[in-house]
């Protein structure tokens, strides 16, 4: 795992916590990101497809055309922008890191499943209608949520438990989904803190009761999600991707600038948000530990 200096994204900027979408334009060539952890993550994704298939792969029949289109789009993207990662042709793609050969998929479900081998990103496919619904997903690394439970839900239903989402973010989120154009993808960063370095975490988090200010930084991981939204040009379905990065907090706070930026967010975190992120029990310890390193 990379040192904190090499962590490619950092969602804290020294300003107090604010609830916002935080979307910015995304250059098409930057849609997919690989890192030094690619082999480890891709291997784990393949294993999860075997051991926990029903948890990480969900599909409605109406997603057939969208999943096929997404598969083609990703193949073309890799061949054009990341040629060191793949070889062969669009219809017969070989992955350079593993030698795995991926022929043209014969179904939408197979097209969706193949994405686990093509990228480190997780993929959610939303319907292209007025109120987009989650109609398919390949989510190997969920952050304390269940893909089977969310299948078929709208954005409002998926985010119903997020503090203040219905009052403040529902309208702008739905507006973005409606107006999203194929040639104008967007991206954002999301974050949480986890009690382990595990990537596949569909269940609730549970920090050890024995933690104190001397041990909490070594026992807590910052989990960053680089999320993108992109509309497919033919089916008009929406693709939501999630690329996960993690780092132990004790490594991150060694960087004085990042430590101070992180501390400002922690200190201003609303109680409801801390509870939603599962941090209410350890937040005082985190603040004490982070501030003692300042």
Q: What are phi and psi of 81, to 5 degrees?
A: -105, -20
Query: Does the pLDDT of residue 254 top 50, yes or no?
Result: yes
The pTM score is: 0.94
pLDDT band at residue 158, thresholds of 50, 70 and 90?
very high
Q: Which residues contact 10 (CB under 8 A, 6 or more apart)?
A: 224, 258, 261
Q: For tokens 């949520």, name the residue.
A: 145
Rounded to an integer, the average pLDDT of 4-13 is 80
CA end-to-end span of the chain, whole Å?
24
pLDDT in tens, 93-134: 999 888 889 999 999 999 999 999 999 999 999 999 989 999
Question: Which comes out higher in pLDDT, residue 217 or 99?
Answer: 217
Rounded to an integer, the average pLDDT of 68-87 is 96
pLDDT of 98 reads 82
Helices 64-81 + 108-118 axis angle, to 10: 30
Query: Does the pLDDT of residue 3 top 70, yes or no?
Result: no
- DSSP letters, 56-96, are HEEE-GGGHHHHHHHHHHHHHHHHHH-TTTEEEETTEEEET
Lookup: tokens for 15: 């300003």
Average pLDDT over the chain, rounded to an integer: 93
pLDDT of 4 reads 40
Q: Which residues contact 274 (CB under 8 A, 6 or more apart)?
A: 280, 283
pLDDT of 177 reads 94
Lookup: tokens for 115: 């994405």
Give rounded-to-5 percent helix, strand, coil for the chain. Answer: 40, 20, 40
**What are the residue ranges spanned by the domains of the chain?**
20-204+220-248
Query: Does the pLDDT of residue 44 top 90, yes or no?
Result: yes
Lookup: tokens for 152: 């078929």
pLDDT of 90 reads 92
Distances (CA, A) of 238 to 27, 152, 246: 17, 14, 26
Using CA of residue 194, residue 196, residue 9, residue 224, what is the dihedral sign?
negative
pLDDT of 6 reads 73
**How large a percentage of the chain has pLDDT more than 70?**
98
pLDDT of 77 reads 97
Q: What are phi and psi of 134, to 5 degrees?
A: -75, 110
Rounded to an integer, the average pLDDT of 82-102 is 90
Helices 256-267 + 283-292 axis angle, to 10: 150
């Amino acid at each position: 795992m990379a040192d904190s200096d090499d962590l490619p994204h950092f969602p804290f900027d020294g300003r107090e916590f604010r609830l916002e979408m935080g979307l910015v334009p995304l250059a098409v060539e930057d849609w997919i990101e690989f890192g030094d952890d690619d082999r480890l993550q891709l291997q784990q994704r393949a294993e999860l497809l075997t051991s926990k298939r029903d948890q990480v792969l969900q599909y409605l029949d109406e997603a057939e055309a969208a999943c096929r289109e997404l598969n083609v789009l990703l193949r073309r993207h890799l061949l054009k922008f990341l040629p060191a990662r793949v070889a062969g042709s669009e219809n017969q793609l070989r992955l350079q890191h593993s030698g795995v050969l991926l022929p043209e998929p014969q179904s939408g479900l197979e097209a969706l499943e193949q994405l686990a081998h093509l990228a480190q990103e997780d993929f959610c496919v939303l319907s292209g209608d007025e109120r987009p619904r989650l109609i398919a997903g390949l989510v190997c690394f969920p952050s304390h949520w269940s893909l089977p439970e969310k299948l078929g839900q709208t954005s409002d239903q998926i985010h119903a438990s997020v503090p203040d989402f219905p009052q403040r973010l529902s309208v702008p989120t739905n507006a973005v989904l409606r107006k999203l154009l194929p040639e104008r993808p967007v991206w954002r960063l999301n974050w949480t803190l986890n009690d382990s370095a595990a990537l596949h975490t569909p269940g609730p988090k549970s920090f050890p009761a024995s933690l104190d200010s001397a041990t909490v930084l070594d026992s807590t991981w910052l989990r960053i999600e680089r999320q993108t939204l992109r509309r497919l040009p033919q089916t008009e379905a929406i693709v939501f991707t999630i690329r996960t990065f993690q780092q132990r907090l004790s490594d991150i706070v060694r960087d004085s600038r990042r430590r101070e930026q992180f501390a400002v967010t922690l200190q201003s975190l609303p109680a409801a948000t801390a509870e939603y992120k599962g941090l209410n029990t350890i937040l005082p310890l985190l603040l004490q530990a982070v501030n003692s390193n300042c």
